[in-house]
Amino acid sequence: MSALEKQVSGSHYKALKIQPIEYIHANGIPFAEGSVIKYVTRWRDKGGIADLEKAKHFIELLIELEQKARVLE
């Protein structure tokens, strides 16, 4: 069985045409951005508003880190 066919703890990704990990990996998307994609993709079928809050937190982290990086340039 392929790792993409197996899902631990639920089935919220298996019903998708393209799983978030496939999209993230194929496009070389970094961790924080990939986490936003993951949480926004699954929120209706798994974590509800909590997943949207997680996605929002990663966006806030990205903004903060980018602002700090620009100050250091």
8 pLDDT band (50/70/90 cuts)? low
32 pLDDT band (50/70/90 cuts)? very high
Residue 62 has pLDDT above 90, yes or no: yes
Segment 26-49 shows an average pLDDT of 96
Q: Tell me the DSSP string of 6-72.
A: --SS-STTTTSSS-HHHHHHHTT--HHHHHHHHHHHHTTTTTTHHHHHHHHHHHHHHHHHHHHHHHH
Q: What is the pTM of this model?
A: 0.83
Residue 3 has pLDDT above 80, yes or no: no
Domain map of the chain by residue range?
31-72
